[in-house]
Chain A
Amino acid sequence: MAAERGTAAEALVGKVVLPGDLLLLPAHYDEDAEGERLRLSAGAAPQGRLLCGPGLRRSGAGLLVTKCGLLRHRPAGGGAYWVDSQQKRYVPVKGDHVIGIVTAKVGDLFRLDVGGSEPASLSYLAFEGATKRNRPNVQVGDLVYGQFVVANKDMEPEMVCIDSSGKSSGMGIIGQDGFLFKVSLGLIRKLLAPKCEIIQELSQLYPFELVLGMNGRIWVKAKTVQQTLIIVNILEACEYMTAEQRKQALAKLSGN
């Protein structure tokens, strides 16, 4: 069986990779040249634990790319590789903070639409300070910000609005008014990066409240409806605008 042509993972960091590309890890270069028998027994992991992130799958001696995008690498803690891809469809992942819309109340559970393939479930006891006597006031159609405790391909996703110590830390029912809209997942990740320029520039324009869900949903509330809509339009357009165009648009608005 001919060895698959693979390229060194480090050489492709920051470049576009396509599904089907095979990436070779540093510890396995020599073993590949020595033929098939050594390759089978060289299933030992390289030094440290290498994390295989979204868009990659372990295959034999290397990593198989399954999504198109830019390859990223983080050398800390044994190293991690992942593919930065643009996507609009959300797939629930454990630990992600998302905005869900309550669609039904089934006994002691709420069913939430999180934009994935299945509705997520949320127990009424998963709020801060909730007991059997003291139920949270959640109606159908409310917005809830929570995180996933169970999210794998085989089970229905489950959400909670408290963290491991029992505090709500910003999660829970999102208040009245405001505007909910959907953007692509790549934009959300850009906005969640520390010291994001877009958010800093917008905050100099008007004061506003912002909730970002990893499922592509953003909730905005400003003092007046007009200000809210302006912020919504800028955030939606940020996907396609370059930094200069954005600065020009904001300068025009703050000049008015």
Chain B
Amino acid sequence: SVSPGDTSVLAGLYGPAEAKLSKELPDRAALEVLLRPKVGLPGVMERSREQLLRQTCEAVVLGVLHPRTAITLVLQVLSDAGSLLSCCLNAACMALLDAGLPLAALFCGVTCALQPDGTILLDPTARQEQEARAILTFAIASSERKVLMANTKGSCSVEEMQQCLAAAQRAADTVFQFYRSSVCRRYSKC
């Protein structure tokens, strides 16, 4: 489970496993993401987040090595205190890393909140998210810091988006350092 601040998400990855005939793809693995909220049944927000996560993961997972299989990623929200989507992205990447699926690159999620006065806040809390003019979430890949996914809620100008993107790319370095140190800790016990 991954938690920046108080937001916490538990991720489980199953695969490559046998796929149902209706869902199997002949040339690559079929990736499915299930996001379960803390309370209540999954609704439209969860479905849209699942699709964003799925498209991001499909960009990095080397599905051509496992055709006609199904990879299932299940995410359970344990607590939500802001920046949920980027927390889900980080949990998804760590699950892919831990399960040993072949990846072309790593990715991380960073959320930026644009305050009414123009300042940029990274990883905002729930209250900061409510006060902000716009919230932008980026999924950034480890190879040359390319942008895999961008999600915006609210309105902002193009320059402001570019500034947020630059700030997010710098912040991504910290997250990748964290991935590296947790993997090193795990393999130091072998």
Contact = CB atoms under 8 A, between A and B. Distances in A.
Given A18-B97, A18-B180, 8 more contacts: A18-B106, A18-B142, A20-B141, A67-B101, A67-B102, A88-B99, A89-B99, A117-B19
Contacts of B16: 89, 91, 117
A64 interface: yes
A155 to B, nearest CB: 10
B143 A4 contact: yes
Interface in A1-60: 2, 4, 16, 18-20, 55, 57
Interface residues of A, number: 26
Given A19-B97, A86-B100, A87-B100, A153 B66 contact: yes
A108 interface: no
Interface of A: 2, 4, 16, 18-20, 55, 57, 64, 66-70, 85-89, 91, 117-118, 153-154, 186, 240
A97 B16 CA distance: 20
Given A117-B16, A186-B190, A64 B104 contact: yes
B143 A66 contact: no
Interface string B65-100: 111111000000000000000000000000001011
Contacts of A85: 100
Contacts of A240: 189
A182 B171 CA distance: 40
Contacts of B187: 16, 69-70, 86
B17 interface: yes
A16 B183 contact: yes
A186 B189 CA distance: 12
B15 A89 contact: yes
Q: State the 10 A-B residue pairs at the shortest beta-carbon distance, nearest first.
A: A87-B100, A20-B105, A19-B103, A66-B102, A117-B69, A20-B142, A117-B16, A16-B184, A68-B183, A85-B100
Contacts of A16: 180, 183-184, 187
Contact of A117 (B18, B60, B179, B190): B18
B2 interface: no
A117 B187 CA distance: 27
A66 B17 contact: no
7 contacts: A16-B180, A19-B60, A19-B103, A20-B141, A68-B97, A86-B190, A118-B68
Q: How big is chain B's contact interface, by range? A: 20 to 34
Contacts of B20: none
B66 A66 contact: no
Interface string B23-45: 00000000000000000000000
Contacts of B101: 67
B127 interface: no
A68 B105 CA distance: 11
A2 B72 CA distance: 36
Nearest to A59: B104
A193 to B, nearest CB: 13
Nearest to B62: A66
B65 A153 contact: yes
A89 B104 contact: no
Contacts of A186: 190
A52 to B, nearest CB: 13
Nearest to B105: A20
Contacts of B15: 89, 117
Contacts of A57: 62, 102
Nearest to A5: B144
Contacts of A2: 144
Nearest to A242: B189
B99 A18 contact: no
B94 to A, nearest CB: 10
